[in-house]
Structure 1
Amino acid sequence: MNKLWSKLIGAFNSLKSKIAFYPSLFAAIGFFMAFLLIYAENRGISAYLMDNFPSLVVNDGDTALTILSACITGLISMMVFSFSMVMVLLNQASTNYSPRLLPGLISNKKHQVILGVYLATILYCIFIAVSIQPKGEEYQVPGFSVLVGIIFTVICMWAFIYFIHTISQNIQINNILDKIYKSAKTRLKFLIEDPADNEKNFPDSTDWSEFYAEKSGYFQNLHLENLKAICDKKEINLHILPVKGVFVLKGIPLLKTSRKIDEATFQEIRQTVVYSRDELVSRNYALAFKQITEIIVKAMSPGINDPGTAMNGIDYLTELWAMRMQKNDYSVHITEKNNKIKIDVISFEELMYNVMASLRTYCKEDITIVQKLMQMFRYLKTQESVNPGFYDVIDKEAKTLLVDAFQSITNPADQELLKNLSEKLNLNT
């Protein structure tokens, strides 16, 4: 039962990130709302309002159809425009910043909810218009339903204004960087406070039994509680080999167990591994470093040449690096029966090398960006760290950057500045 529930939760979380999720949900609500009001009309709600509040009820069939037709036409125009604006946002973000930003922008709940409100109101008005019958002596026009449709249309107009505001905000690079940073900060804070980050002791798994991936995909998450239950049931320790966020190829080692297990148990374990084709910062903080790095590299490309955006990106990277220094390079979870599950994580050294390798390639010729990066290293040297070896990694990357910068920057004044930066970090280049 727990396994099924975990699968359902995983499927639901994946579905929520799709751009059509909330629009579809609201469309269904609008559909059922229309039939609910039609039922209420059959129970005489409009007749009651005509007797008590006649000014609120449209009692002419032609007028009601005209109003609903105008609402439907206007809402369809607004919805088409809104969808077009979303596509423009995604295209501009992909072209000017990085295609990796698209999953985060697509999963923006505000835009999905607004589009959903449009769809719900359109469907509601259509079905109410269809329910209006030709005039008859005893026929009561569904005036209350028309009134509700007018109210929904006014709400849609307010939502459209709010949509224009949010879309203009979300396309700004500072807001994009801030959103990436906040998502990564939340994830890193959760991992730092996780007891698994403090448990270092784990048996040597070199000679353990290996099991291999049966399909390809991005390794995004684990159903950890189910995995712990399996380990306790079979009395085994477990070592998950891929790092979260990497693309797992079919046939590569997926996990190791402290003793040999049967195929059925392996299939149970494999089902706890969540694959996905999407990459979201909220699930994997390392993607934030990758996305911000790509924004900086894109900003420094000759076609864009925007060092201001690059400097903003370095500021956010600095804050994230300071947080990453508070996290260990291991993750070991303890089960109820004291079995252990080790999940490999990307090391501080590897993560910093991957980031700086790209930045060195595209930024080494710009003295202002090099200076900004050196200021980042100086700041990180003053921060507390759970591992003293992280300071050596910082020195190594700073020295490598200066070596490349000395080779690319030939101006004597700029080289003198580089020497001063090297001295401030106590580097010998």
Structure 2
Amino acid sequence: MTARLRKLLYALGNAFWLLPAAMVILGILSAFALIAVDRSGLISSRILQGNWLYNGGGTGARTLLGAVAASTIGVAGTVFSITIAALSLAAGQMGPRLLQNFTRDRGNQITLGAFLGTFSYAMMVLRSVRTQSEGEFVPHLALSVGILLAFFCVATLVFFVGHMAGRINVDSVIDLVGTEVRKAIARLTVADPEPAPPPASFWLHSTEVVDDRRGYLQQLDADTLADWAAVNETAIRLLLRPGEYLFPGAVIALVTPAVEGAGVAIRDATALSSQRASSADLESEIRQLVEVAVRALSPGINDPHTAMSVLDRLGAALCDVASVHLPTGVHLRNDRPALIVPSVNYDGLTDSMFHLIRQNAAGNAATLIRMLEVLTAVVGCEHDTIRRQSLQRHVDLILDDAKRNIENPADLADVRARHENFATMMEHGAIGAVCGARLSPRCASTL
């Protein structure tokens, strides 16, 4: 049940309509409240006749409120129609999956909510206005607040134009997704190493659990499932992690020893979705960055500078990972493994970052050079031997692709030079890389 609740909260957090709907309700309630204040007689006639509140008649009030309502709903429709057109063009360059970053943007939601909330407020106040022939009632306070809301909508429109102009800029989008990657790393990594999974022989006599559902695993209530396994004195190994697809009729888990109700417990602790997005999937945010780079390297766009910007953010993410540990997915109860969830390791993380970009930039010397420079910077931050070997593997793959696809000898020589810089950085550190590459052979020989 917790997994389904998390799925609902995740959907609501990404919903575009929630904040505008709340602002519409706020506008309606504010209109009723201010009209009630006007009817109560709490505001003295001296204040009503002053210059701070609206002091016109019923006809003028209806005209004013009608103008506010018509203009706000008209501008809202026009502005957001133009926005959708702009986002469609941006999606063609940066990828449709990035559109969710625009829909969950608070600036866009507040702008829409301001226009629709003001429209709703004006309509509610308008229905209470009475002319002299109808038994005159003019809600002066509510009318004055409506005028202020109209000016607020003007300011919101100016903000929105500048905000959208900045948000559809590719560098701004890359920085935004890079920030999300940094938040995901902080949320999904651990400060201390977790226990290693049991050996493969541990599952030799386990029982398979088949699931007939289909979709991407979006949420997993790992603690509840581990507690269930501990109470029933069994161990569960899930075969897919959040963000991966579950095929109908496929094996979702192994259980040893076999117990009744394992399939029901797993079903209750998981929630599926039609979209490959999960707050527990570190690779989800990384894939968005990689998609921007891959599209930028396509022949139709051919923008290697965007790919280089993506590589810079990926390198920064790996430097963030250097000081933390990736979770192993092992959940212990009473010092025994109760639940093992597949987790991304460093090899998988770097593969998701660099494989697609390298494959699409195989003949682009500038992008390959920048990739080698980024990996050289990362290896200066990373001191774990196994992780360094993973970085070395990617550097060698880049050089192999360059040898096969780059025909210009000068460009290939530049790639080789960056490859040598990586080797020097890995062996001697930053001082060795600078001294050996830029000063003299004598300086390098002293290292």
After TM superposition, the score normalised by the length of structure 2 is 0.85
Distance 1:224 1:353, change over 3 A: closer
Residue 285 of structure 2 corresponds to which residue in structure 1?
288
Residue 382 of structure 1 corresponds to which residue in structure 2?
380
Matched letter for residue 375 of structure 1? E
Identity of aligned residues (%): 21
Residue 349 of structure 1 corresponds to which residue in structure 2?
347
Instruction: Tell me, yes or no, if structure 1 residue 19 matches structure 2 residue 16.
Output: yes
Equivalent residue of 2:300, what SS? coil
Is the CA contact 1:104–1:280 (under 8 Å) kept in the aligned structure 2? no
Equivalent residue of 2:325, what SS? coil
Residue 298 of structure 2 corresponds to which residue in structure 1?
301
1:218-297 paired onto structure 2 within 5 Å: 218-263=216-261, 265-280=262-277, 282-297=279-294
Residues 34-43 or 296-305, more deviating:
34-43
Return the alpha-carbon distance in structure 2 between the equivalents of residues 19 and 245 of structure 1.
Answer: 22
Return the alpha-carbon distance in structure 2 between the equivalents of residues 6 and 251 of structure 1.
Answer: 21
Equivalent residue of 1:382, what SS? helix
Residues 25-34 or 137-146, more deviating:
137-146
Residue 361 of structure 2 corresponds to which residue in structure 1?
363
Task: Report the alpha carbon displacement of residue 340 of structure 1 after superposing the two structures with TM.
Answer: 3.0
Residue 215 of structure 1 corresponds to which residue in structure 2?
213
Give the aligned length: 419
Instruction: Tell me, yes or no, if structure 1 residue 50 matches structure 2 residue 48.
Output: no
Task: Report the alpha carbon displacement of residue 338 of structure 1 after superposing the two structures with TM.
Answer: 5.7
Is the CA contact 1:94–1:102 (under 8 Å) kept in the aligned structure 2? yes
Return the alpha-carbon distance in structure 2 between the equivalents of residues 365 and 231 of structure 1.
Answer: 52
Equivalent residue of 1:31, what SS? helix
After TM superposition, the score normalised by the length of structure 1 is 0.89
Cα deviation code 1:35-90 (max 9, x no counterpart)? 33333333234xx3434342213340011011101111110122113312431342
Residue 115 of structure 2 corresponds to which residue in structure 1?
118
Could you tell me which of 64, 67, 70 is aligned with 1:67? 64
Return the alpha-carbon distance in structure 2 between the equivalents of residues 276 and 61 of structure 1.
Answer: 53
Residues 212-221 or 228-237, more deviating:
228-237
Return the alpha-carbon distance in structure 2 between the equivalents of residues 222 and 396 of structure 1.
Answer: 33
Residue 107 of structure 1 corresponds to which residue in structure 2?
104
Return the alpha-carbon distance in structure 1 between the equivalents of residues 334 and 63 of structure 2.
Answer: 67
Is the CA contact 2:208–2:253 (under 8 Å) kept in the aligned structure 1? yes
Task: Report the alpha carbon displacement of residue 131 of structure 1 after superposing the two structures with TM.
Answer: 1.7
Return the alpha-carbon distance in structure 2 between the equivalents of residues 26 and 332 of structure 1.
Answer: 44
Equivalent residue of 1:321, what SS? helix
Instruction: Name structure 2 gaps, 5 residues minimum.
Output: 425-447
Is the CA contact 1:329–1:348 (under 8 Å) kept in the aligned structure 2? no
Distance 1:309 1:301, change over 3 A: same
Distance 1:137 1:382, change over 3 A: closer
Is the CA contact 1:183–1:282 (under 8 Å) kept in the aligned structure 2? no
Matched letter for residue 200 of structure 1? A
Could you tell me which of 179, 185, 189 is aligned with 2:182? 185
Return the alpha-carbon distance in structure 2 between the equivalents of residues 86 and 235 of structure 1.
Answer: 56
Cα deviation code 1:388-425 (max 9, x no counterpart)? 22222222221122111111112222232233333334
Residue 196 of structure 2 corresponds to which residue in structure 1?
200
Q: Give me the CA root mean square deviation.
A: 2.5
Distance 1:6 1:135, change over 3 A: farther
Matched letter for residue 112 of structure 1? Q
Task: Report the alpha carbon displacement of residue 283 of structure 1 after superposing the two structures with TM.
Answer: 4.2
Matched letter for residue 189 of structure 2? I
